[in-house]
Amino acid sequence: MTVSTRGRYNFAVTNPRFTGKWTGISKRLRQPRNDVSCPRSVKQQPRLSCLSIMWLMAVNWSLCFFFGSASNHEDPPARGSAVLEELVIVIQSQKNSYHAQRGYQRKEKILQDAANLGQGLPVVLLLHELSDYEGNWSILPVLPLLSAIYGESASWFLFVEEETMVVLHVLEKVLKRYPVQEEWFLGQRLHDNKPSIVHHYAFSEDPTSFGYPDPAAGWALSAALHQRLAERIQSENLKSDFTIDLTHEIALFIWEEGRGPKLTTVPEFCSETRDNCATKFTNYLPNCGSPVSKNNIFVAVKTCEKYHSVRVPVVKSTWEKHAVYLEYYSDVTDASIPTINLGVPNTERGHCGKTFAILRRFLSEAVPKVDWLVIVDDDTLISLPRLRRLLRCYNPKEAVSLGERYGYGLMQNGYSYTTGGGGMVLSRTAVSILLSSGCSCYSDDAPDDMVLGRCFTAIGVPITHSPLFHQAQPDDYSGTRITPQHSVSFHKHWSVDPVAVYTNWLQDSHLKDEL
């Protein structure tokens, strides 16, 4: 079976990750328990090892005891809501400490709200805890595990982001509208207004005809649909090459060229704050305090001679002024810019050799010792003030690789990587660990962003995703998904006025120029 996405998927090759893994776990966790009184869905928490299962069950027993005691200390237990007790909420958390903490806080808030509501507790899971596999963020690899453990107890699976608020009493009413024995795919509908490179120009004849969920508003699968998808993943031995836009690709997989359901629009799934919302969202640019000092960021711009007079002037007229430490790296030395020749010839395809030379220079005494390295192309447009605000949330003592995350071969134990065009942000710690590992380019013209992703995956450094970074131009994204106030970068000068794009999307005239 081939999904028509202009080459995005080609499902064919055996995938040993999903062969016979879940049966034993599923049988053990489905055994009846008569000696407990917590909701069935809270008792069943997933892990691939017995110790992990026991630990998660202990945590949830504690939560069950605490919330039950706090809300019903003297009164008899209230009759639980079948909807909430049969609801599994998956928070799409990440392993980086900031994101993991935000995930824990969201889980705690949901469980506390459920306890206050007194209608039973849903199962709330953190995606990054379900297994050690980095590719779980693409969702499809984890569906068989969720099905094996919760397939007989859950009626709905809700997927939300760390910053998505869940209003349980409204969500309960919404889910009751849809018969659980049927296949349902629910969310707030997005669509492309023009053929998009991000979606490999799928549905180019009528881009508005295909809907996919806004990830900020969350999206839900009925148990019937979830079960069929999990079985399909296991039986068809799926293969994928690139994972780029998660919810669009999930929608394509579910739709299955018309054999599966399309997305059903639910107005109560909200990506903004308003009345009668089952989910709410503010924005992706958090406020973690004062911005990181501009003196603590080093910017490396990759260029080559043929673009010195075309692209470099755009950088200089837009965002260069916000950088204290910035160097242009080229295949020739040009004192008028100035550029630095790292001794790596220019290549037409990838720039791995040049990027690794930049990494080595960053750790040398040739440049100031700072916490953060930002590597961009000469046609990247970026807001350094917003980036500085974002970086306040991250600990530079950790190994941080931050940007827009793509995946390669994630159905076959592949790897994730930060796309180079949107900008790659690395902590000094990450650069040091990477170079110490000995991982390197297989050729100078290898794709640098993918090689870095492969290396970081091999040494256990997570790729941290921020949707504020963009590999493509603003018009390649749904208009309701991005806003001028909450974007950090865009990429490419094709058929646009790059200065106008920067002015309209990334320039903040009201921001103070903090040190």
> How many domains are contained in the chain?
2
Domain boundary among 281, 310, 339: 281
Are residues 421 and 473 both part of a single domain? yes
15 lies in some domain: no
Q: Which of 28-32, 58-62, 496-500 has the lowest mean pLDDT?
A: 28-32
Pair 461, 315 in one domain: yes
Q: What is the pLDDT of residue 363?
A: 98
Q: Which residue has the higher pLDDT, 3 or 167?
A: 167
- Kindly state whether residue 11 falls inside one of the protein's structural domains: no
Quick one: 263 and 369 in the same domain? Answer: no
In the predicted model, is pLDDT for residue 419 greater than 70? yes
In sequence order, what are the residues at sequence separation of 6 or more whose Cβ sits closer than 8 angstroms to the Cβ of residue 237? 11, 12, 13, 14, 15, 18
pLDDT computed for residue 81 by the predictor = 62
Q: For residue 251, which amino acid is it?
A: A
φ, ψ at 277 (rounded to 5°): -100, 140
End-to-end, the C-alpha distance of the chain in Å comes to 55
Selection from 143, 294, 309 nearest residue 227 by Cα:
143
Residue 113 has pLDDT above 60, yes or no: yes
Question: Are 205 and 302 members of one domain?
Answer: no
Looking up tokens 């590999």, which residue turns up? 471
- pLDDT value at position 508? 86
User: Is 66 inside any structural domain?
Assistant: no
Residue 27 lies in a domain: no
Identify whether residues 337 and 384 lie together within a single domain.
Answer: yes
DSSP string, 377-402: ETTEEE-HHHHHHHHTTS-TTS--EE
Instruction: Reduce the DSSP state of residue 121 to 3 states and report it.
Output: coil
**pLDDT value for 28:** 32
pLDDT at 200: 86
Grade residue 24 by pLDDT with cuts at 50, 70 and 90. very low
- Cα 444 from chain centre: 29
1-5, 94-98, 293-297, 478-482: range with lowest mean pLDDT:
1-5
pLDDT band for 289, please (50, 70, 90 cuts): very high
Is 70 exceeded by the pLDDT of residue 8? Answer: no
Give the residue from 247, 281, 315 where a domain finishes: 281
**255 and 149 assigned to the same domain:** yes
Q: What is the pLDDT of residue 48?
A: 43
In a domain, 286, yes or no: no
* Separation of alpha carbons 489 and 468, rounded Å: 7
Distances, alpha carbon 403 to alpha carbons 140, 424, 467, in Å: 22, 6, 8
208-258 pLDDT, tens per residue? 999 999 999 999 999 999 999 999 999 987 777 899 999 999 999 999 999
Whether residue 18 contacts residue 146, with contact meaning beta carbons closer than 8 Å, is answered with no
Determine the pLDDT at residue 26: 37
Residue in the block written with tokens 């020739």 = 332
Burial (CB count <10 Å: 0-12, 13-18, 19+), residue 313: middle
- At a CB cut-off of 8 Å and minimum separation 6, what does 251 contact? 185, 210, 211, 212, 213, 262, 263
* Percent of the chain scoring above 70 in pLDDT: 83
CB 308 within 8 A of CB 337: yes
Predicted local confidence at residue 425, as pLDDT: 98
Parallel, antiparallel or unpaired: strands 219-222 and 185-187 = antiparallel
For CA atoms 104, 110, 112, 118, give the dihedral sign: negative
- Are residues 123 and 218 part of one domain? yes
Say what the pLDDT of residue 108 is. 98
Average pLDDT over residues 272-291: 90
The distance of Cα 106 from the centroid of its chain, to the nearest Å, equals 16
- Rounded to whole angstroms, how far apart are CA atoms 58 and 50? 12
Q: Are 380 and 421 in contact (CB under 8 A)?
A: yes
Q: Yes or no: say if 227 and 155 are a contact pair by the CB < 8 Å rule.
A: no
Report the C-alpha gap between 14 and 371 in whole angstroms.
43
Kindly state the helix (H) or strand (E) to which residue 43 belongs, with its residue range: helix 40-43
Same domain (yes/no): 423, 310: yes
> Closest by alpha carbon to 418, among 383, 483, 468?
468
Q: Is residue 170 located within the same domain as residue 267?
A: yes
**pLDDT at 42 (0 to 100):** 32
Q: What domain range is 172 assigned to?
A: 87-281
Check which CATH number belongs to the domain holding 137 and give it. 3.90.550
Question: Is residue 367 one of the residues assigned to a domain?
Answer: yes
Least confident of 170-184, 450-464, 481-495: 481-495
**Residue 441 placed within a domain:** yes
Q: Is residue 272 part of a domain?
A: yes
Q: How confident is the model at residue 21 (pLDDT cuts 50, 70, 90)?
A: very low
Mean pLDDT of the residues in the chain: 85
Q: Do both 268 and 303 map to the same domain? A: no
Computed from CA positions of residues 25, 157, 97, 45, in that sequence, does the dihedral angle turn out positive or negative?
negative
Backbone angles phi and psi of 416, in degrees to 5: -105, 160
* Shared domain check, 302 and 216: no
Task: Give the pLDDT of residue 62.
Answer: 47
User: How far apart, in whole angstroms, are the C-alpha atoms of residue 202 and residue 195?
Assistant: 7
Question: How many alpha carbons lie under 13 Å from residue 300 in its C-beta half-sphere?
Answer: 27
Which tens digit of pLDDT belongs to each residue from 485-497? 789 999 999 999 9
Do both 424 and 370 map to the same domain?
A: yes
Residue 412's CATH number: 3.90.550.50
Q: Which of 246, 281, 316 is at the close of a domain?
A: 281
